[in-house]
């Protein structure tokens, strides 16, 4: 690099500088999504492959696998790459950026985990693990209340009753996600409350040449747009504004329609939910962009970026909506609409699901 | 909502109490599921806290009136006190009577006790000025844009919300010990409010403001010097403008003075105390000092003895200017203070113009204290009687700078001291190439006095007569050579008018030729034996005498020039012919 101030950023420096600039909560979120979850997922996938080869797995391993493997949407290396790209767009005017080998490696990690999701079918792997039929389950097989239940975790369909451990993954069987509606409402409410500070409070302070002013997320978008970076502006607008708001509105609508037992558009609503559930993670783009800016642009009064409470609030909104979506069970919509024989639409769908 | 599951688990527990998988289910479903509502509750708490802290950190809204909104922009300009951000300008509007701009400022809550009667606000606009801090801070104010500075002043009695902003920074910031002085100068130059003041390159203060005074026409600068450096401001302290680089051509040649980068960028003011004045009492604050253009000028005025003199020159004073040096035997003794073109005021010269050169002699520059009175008016009188004169000297051939030199001139034109106001008029002496031109002209005049034309006319007439009477080949030959020699002499005189040197070289051989021609002619005449009374003889003899005289005079001149070649330059010395 020819002269000038320069700094290098690696995966650890992002969280490090987030802590140093007074945003430990962002640091935790970033470490969780970039380091903890991807590592756990890769380790779990490897462990599972090993177990399949050995044809044996202890019970605790199975339980851990049921927790870790579904965390697919929480591994956000690919989102981070987009966020870094947006950050580079923002810095472009004043900073010369060159890419180190670790960025390629990070892209490789992202591609690998994408390939893992696409290629390795976790249901198929589960299939290959031996099933331990417990005596109780066998004994209960013909008792009252017995029906076919698909395990949420490993996908095995058992002839069993609610609450009995799955003979394969040893997690309790539930035909629907427990407490789905109340959890979803609670998380949605929390997210909706936090939307206000997320958009009203400044997300970052960019100090350029000693003069800095806090910028909200919307301010960052207009800044990008004013500099002619339309693509980046549109991406940030969609990921930071459209998707979270849409998600909140859509989930609330789905819940309300479910309560009212609306039958129309069930297929559409289900697809909409799946789509939103898949893309909500991209809202973290803004957070990763903030992290990259904080870590990259630290040249004293020349250029430096500080995270502001708005970013933390926004991160919380994204996490809460993701959790809300995770706790929402779209099958309840069909139950409520009376589309599932044997599941009478009575009271709240939740109560019925647990009967 | 947990009713159903409890029932289900109860049934299972009775049927197979030994089964391990049964109990956890029963326990798990007894968990209170309402904990999930703690999350939105926490969100509410967080948002409530954020809102609360926002409300409580908002201080009062104040308004400040300014003459101009330059540098003020809504939502950007900050109010700072000791570099601490205390508020943000939220809106800039015109006042009701349209005469001022009013900035609405949302202050921070902690600024509340600072908003009193004595609080002053002014806009600090970006400028390349370090103020009292280092250059980097100066650069940062340049790029960080304007801000509104706050000075709380003494603890006030009444809290206030409406303020009249100052147009210039207040002269003394509260809580900063030091003194304020006034400097006067002819031109502001690159000085500005905030220009640093250095004492021996140490930053000790800054320019607070400047104004144009009408009577007398000058620029007045208010400066602030921090304590304890204000102790150095005594009556004889000299201030001068400091510039980063000064390139000066003076009699010493080209001098490039390079100071610090800071003063290059910002300019500056420096001061110094004369050695003798170290023990003086510090001057009171608010005193007025003169600000000199540079260190030299400041130092020159620090000589306590300055004796004014005037000299008149009737030759070119090109290269002499204010500040040129006055020497005596190469030692600086003073400086030229003024060079004017005037009508010569001395009696007998009224119809002419002359260059009036005023200068001061400062004996402190070179003389020991005991000899100082030698240069005052009484001492000078005796020096002039001993032929001390003022001479214009070219000091630097390259730049053409001249200086005045006090010299003893041998055979000086008699001159007397005259008084002109406070100054004494010193007689001057011209010493330059002009004198050489004059002596060359004198030689030319002498040569012209040789009656060459007369001789040639006579010669022609004689020759005609000789030709008529005599036809001897020897005589003819002799006369021809005489004619040739005469022509040569003629050409010589012609040449002498245009340039002397080749003519001088040829003078002796010409004289010789003349003589030999006369000899030949005499011999020829003698051979032919003309009668002594014949007219030809008489004419010839007269001519010969004239020629001989011419030849003699030429030879004499040649001899003289050989012995005194400097005569060409100086003219003939009348006492030593």
- Cα–Cα nearest to A113, from A86, A152, A74: A74
Structure-model confidence comparison of residues B497 and B542, the more confident one: B542
Which pLDDT belongs to residue B287?
Answer: 82
pLDDT for residue B495 is more than 70: no
The C-alpha atoms of residue A8 and residue B209 are separated, in whole angstroms, by 46
Which pLDDT belongs to residue A224?
Answer: 82
B 98-157: CB under 8 A from A: 140, 143-145
pLDDT for residue B527 is more than 80: no
**Cα separation values, B247 from B5, B250, B253, B257, Å:** 97, 10, 10, 6
Which pLDDT belongs to residue B502?
Answer: 57
Structure-model confidence comparison of residues B180 and B253, the more confident one: B180
The C-alpha atoms of residue B310 and residue B124 are separated, in whole angstroms, by 51
pLDDT for residue B240 is more than 60: yes
Would an 8 Å CB–CB cutoff place B17 in contact with chain A? no
Q: What is the DSSP string of A64-85?
A: HHHHHGGGGGG--HHHHHHHHH
Position A65 confidence tier, pLDDT thresholds 50, 70, 90: confident
Position B1 confidence tier, pLDDT thresholds 50, 70, 90: very low
pLDDT for residue B269 is more than 60: yes
Q: Chain B residue with minimal CA distance to A201? A: B50
Which pLDDT belongs to residue A317?
Answer: 92
Alpha carbons within 13 A on the beta-carbon side of A141: 11
The C-alpha atoms of residue A139 and residue B439 are separated, in whole angstroms, by 149
Which pLDDT belongs to residue A291?
Answer: 86
Asked if B29 and A179 come within 8 Å (Cβ–Cβ), the reply is no
Q: State the DSSP code for B229.
A: G
Which pLDDT belongs to residue A189?
Answer: 92
Residue A31's contacts (CB-CB under 8 Å, 6 or more residues apart) are A15
Average pLDDT over residues B191-196: 78
Given a contact cutoff of 8 angstroms between Cβ atoms, the answer to whether A329 and A348 are in contact is: no
State the first-to-last Cα distance of chain A, in angstroms, to the nearest integer: 67
CA distance to partner chain A, nearest, from residue B47 (Å): 7
pLDDT for residue B69 is more than 60: yes
Q: If you search the block for the tokens 């013909």, which residue do you land on? A: A142
Average pLDDT over residues B349-371: 81
Mutation target to probe the B interface, by most B beta carbons within 10 A, among A170, A173, A210, A313 is: A210
pLDDT for residue B265 is more than 70: no
Average pLDDT over residues B42-57: 87
Would an 8 Å CB–CB cutoff place B55 in contact with chain A? no
Residue B222's contacts (CB-CB under 8 Å, 6 or more residues apart) are B171, B180, B181, B182, B207, B208, B209, B210
Position B577 confidence tier, pLDDT thresholds 50, 70, 90: very low
Position A349 confidence tier, pLDDT thresholds 50, 70, 90: very low
Helix residue spans in B186-325 (DSSP H) = 261-266, 295-300
Alpha carbons within 13 A on the beta-carbon side of B166: 18
Q: Chain A residue with minimal CA distance to B147? A: A211
The C-alpha atoms of residue B496 and residue B114 are separated, in whole angstroms, by 96
Q: Chain A residue with minimal CA distance to B32? A: A179
Which pLDDT belongs to residue B71?
Answer: 78
- Measured between beta carbons, the chain B residues lying within 8 angstroms of A196 are 47
The C-alpha atoms of residue B513 and residue B536 are separated, in whole angstroms, by 23
Asked if B144 and A140 come within 8 Å (Cβ–Cβ), the reply is no
Of residues B15, B39, B144, nearest to A210 (C-beta) = B144
pLDDT for residue B464 is more than 60: yes
Bridge-based pairing state of the strands B178-185 and B288-292:
parallel
Would an 8 Å CB–CB cutoff place B46 in contact with chain A? yes
CA distance to partner chain B, nearest, from residue A87 (Å): 23
Which pLDDT belongs to residue B281?
Answer: 74
- Cα–Cα nearest to B517, from B445, B462, B562: B462
Q: pTM of the entire structure?
A: 0.54
Residue A228's contacts (CB-CB under 8 Å, 6 or more residues apart) are none
What pLDDT, in 10s, does the model give residues B391-418?
887 766 566 677 888 888 777 677 777 7
Asked if A193 and B29 come within 8 Å (Cβ–Cβ), the reply is no
Position B272 confidence tier, pLDDT thresholds 50, 70, 90: confident
Helix residue spans in B320-398 (DSSP H) = 377-385
A 108-147: CB under 8 A from B: 134-137, 139-140, 143, 145
User: Where on the phi/psi map is residue B343: left (φ > 0), alpha (ψ -120 to 50), or beta?
Assistant: beta
Position A96 confidence tier, pLDDT thresholds 50, 70, 90: low
CA torsion B170-B171-B173-B178 (nearest 10°) is 180
Over A92-124, what HEC string results?
A: CCCCCCCCCHHHHHHHHHHHHHHHHHHHCCHHH
What pLDDT, in 10s, does the model give residues B275-334?
766 677 777 777 888 888 877 777 777 677 778 888 888 777 777 888 788 888 878 888
Position A1 confidence tier, pLDDT thresholds 50, 70, 90: very low
pLDDT for residue B7 is more than 50: no
Cis peptide, bond prior to residue B216, ω within 30 of zero = yes
pLDDT for residue B186 is more than 60: yes
Of residues A164, A170, A182, nearest to B1 (C-beta) = A182
The C-alpha atoms of residue B10 and residue B14 are separated, in whole angstroms, by 7
CA distance to partner chain B, nearest, from residue A28 (Å): 18
Q: Chain B residue with minimal CA distance to A324? A: B36
Which pLDDT belongs to residue B263?
Answer: 62
ipTM of the prediction: 0.76
**Cα separation values, B130 from A214, B67, B208, B244, B325, Å:** 27, 25, 13, 15, 37
- Measured between beta carbons, the chain A residues lying within 8 angstroms of B29 are 163
- Measured between beta carbons, the chain B residues lying within 8 angstroms of A137 are 21
For chain B, what is the mean pLDDT? 73
Asked if A139 and B12 come within 8 Å (Cβ–Cβ), the reply is no
* Tokens coding B343: 């009508």
**Cα separation values, B47 from A187, A197, A198, B52, Å:** 15, 7, 10, 8
Q: What percent of chain B has pLDDT over 90?
A: 1
- Measured between beta carbons, the chain A residues lying within 8 angstroms of B25 are 163-164, 172
């Amino acid at each position: 690099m020819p002269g000038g101030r320069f700094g290098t950023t690696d995966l650890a420096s992002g969280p490090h500088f987030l802590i140093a600039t007074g945003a430990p909560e962002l640091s935790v979120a970033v470490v969780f999504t970039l380091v903890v979850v991807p590592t756990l997922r890769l380790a779990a996938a490897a462990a599972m492959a090993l177990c399949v080869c050995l044809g044996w797995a202890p019970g605790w391993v199975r339980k851990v696998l049921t927790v870790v493997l579904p965390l697919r949407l929480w591994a956000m290396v690919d989102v981070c790459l987009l966020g870094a790209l947006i950050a580079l767009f923002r810095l472009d005017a004043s900073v010369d950026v060159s890419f180190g080998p670790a960025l390629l490696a990070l892209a490789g990690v992202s591609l690998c985990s994408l390939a893992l999701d696409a290629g390795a079918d976790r249901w198929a792997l589960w299939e290959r693990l031996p099933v331990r039929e417990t005596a109780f389950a066998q004994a209960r097989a013909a008792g009252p209340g017995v029906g076919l239940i698909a395990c949420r975790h490993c996908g095995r369909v058992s002839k069993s009753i609610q609450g009995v451990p799955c003979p394969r993954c040893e997690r309790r069987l539930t035909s629907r996600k427990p407490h789905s509606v109340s959890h979803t409402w609670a998380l949605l409410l929390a997210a909706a409350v936090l939307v206000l500070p997320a958009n009203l409070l400044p997300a970052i302070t960019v100090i350029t040449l000693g003069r800095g002013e806090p910028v909200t997320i919307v301010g960052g978008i207009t800044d990008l747009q004013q500099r002619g970076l339309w693509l980046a502006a549109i991406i940030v607008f969609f990921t930071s504004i459209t998707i979270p708001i849409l998600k909140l509105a859509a989930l609330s609508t789905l819940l309300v329609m479910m309560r009212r037992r609306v039958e129309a558009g069930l297929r559409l609503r289900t697809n909409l939910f799946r789509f939103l559930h898949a893309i909500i993670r991209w809202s973290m783009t803004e957070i990763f962009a903030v992290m990259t800016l904080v870590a990259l642009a630290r040249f004293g009064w020349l250029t430096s970026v500080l995270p502001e409470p708005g970013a933390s609030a926004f991160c919380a909104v994204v996490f809460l909506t993701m959790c809300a979506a995770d706790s929402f069970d779209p099958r309840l919509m069909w139950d409520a609409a009376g589309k599932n024989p044997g599941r009478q639409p009575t009271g709240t769908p939740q109560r019925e699901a647990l009967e | 909502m947990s009713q159903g599951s409890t029932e289900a688990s109860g049934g299972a527990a009775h049927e197979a109490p030994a089964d391990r998988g049964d109990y956890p289910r029963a326990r798990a479903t007894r968990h209170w599921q309402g904990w999930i509502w703690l999350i939105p509750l926490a969100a509410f708490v967080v948002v409530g806290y954020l809102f609360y802290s926002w409300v409580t950190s908002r201080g009062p809204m104040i308004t400040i009136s300014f003459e101009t909104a330059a540098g003020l922009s809504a939502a950007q300009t900050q109010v700072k006190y000791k570099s601490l951000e205390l508020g943000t300008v939220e809106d800039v509007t015109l006042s009701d009577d349209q005469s001022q701009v009013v900035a609405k400022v949302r202050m921070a809550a902690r600024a509340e006790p600072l908003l009193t009667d004595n609080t002053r606000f002014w806009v600090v606009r970006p400028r390349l000025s370090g103020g009292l801090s280092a250059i980097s801070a100066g650069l940062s104010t340049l790029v960080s844009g304007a801000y509104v500075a706050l000075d709380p002043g003494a603890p006030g009695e009444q809290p206030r919300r409406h303020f009249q902003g100052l147009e210039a920074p207040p002269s003394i910031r509260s809580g900063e010990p030091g003194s304020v002085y006034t400097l006067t100068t002819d031109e502001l130059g690159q000085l500005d409010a905030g220009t640093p003041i250095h004492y021996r390159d140490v930053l000790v203060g800054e320019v607070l403001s400047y104004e144009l005074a009408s009577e007398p026409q000058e620029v007045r600068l208010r400066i602030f010097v921090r304590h304890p450096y204000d102790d150095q401001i005594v009556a004889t302290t000299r201030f001068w403008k400091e510039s980063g680089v000064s390139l000066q051509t003076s009699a010493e040649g080209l001098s490039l003075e390079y100071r610090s980068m800071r003063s290059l960028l910002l300019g500056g003011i420096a001061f110094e105390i004369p050695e003798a004045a170290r023990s003086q009492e510090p001057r009171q604050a608010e005193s007025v000092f003169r600000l000199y253009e540079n260190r030299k000028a400041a130092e020159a005025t620090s000589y306590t003895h300055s004796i004014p003199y005037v000299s008149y020159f009737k030759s070119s004073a090109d290269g002499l200017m204010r500040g040129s040096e006055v020497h005596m035997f190469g030692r600086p003794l003073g400086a030229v203070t003024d060079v004017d073109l005037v009508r010569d005021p001395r009696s007998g010269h009224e119809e002419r113009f002359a260059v009036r050169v005023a200068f001061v002699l400062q004996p402190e520059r070179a003389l020991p204290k005991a000899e100082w009175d030698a240069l005052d008016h009484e001492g000078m009188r005796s020096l002039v009687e001993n032929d001390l004169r003022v001479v214009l000297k070219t000091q630097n051939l390259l730049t053409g700078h001249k200086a005045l030199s006090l010299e003893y001139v041998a055979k000086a034109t008699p001159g007397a001291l005259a008084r002109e106001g406070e100054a004494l008029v010193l007689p001057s002496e011209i010493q330059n190439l002009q004198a050489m031109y004059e002596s060359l002209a004198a030689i030319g005049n002498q040569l012209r006095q040789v009656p060459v034309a007369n001789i040639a006319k006579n010669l022609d007439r004689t020759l005609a007569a000789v030709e008529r009477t005599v036809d001897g080949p020897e005589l003819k030959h002799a006369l021809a050579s005489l004619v040739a020699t005469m022509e040569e002499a003629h050409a010589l005189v012609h040449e002498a008018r245009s340039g002397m040197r080749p003519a001088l070289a040829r003078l002796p051989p010409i004289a010789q030729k003349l003589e030999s021609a006369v000899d030949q002619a005499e011999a020829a005449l003698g051979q032919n034996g003309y009668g002594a009374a014949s007219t030809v003889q008489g004419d010839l003899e007269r001519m010969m005498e004239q020629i001989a005289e011419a030849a003699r005079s030429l030879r004499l001149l040649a001899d003289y020039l050989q012995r005194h070649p400097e005569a060409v330059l100086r003219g003939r010395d009348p006492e030593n012919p």
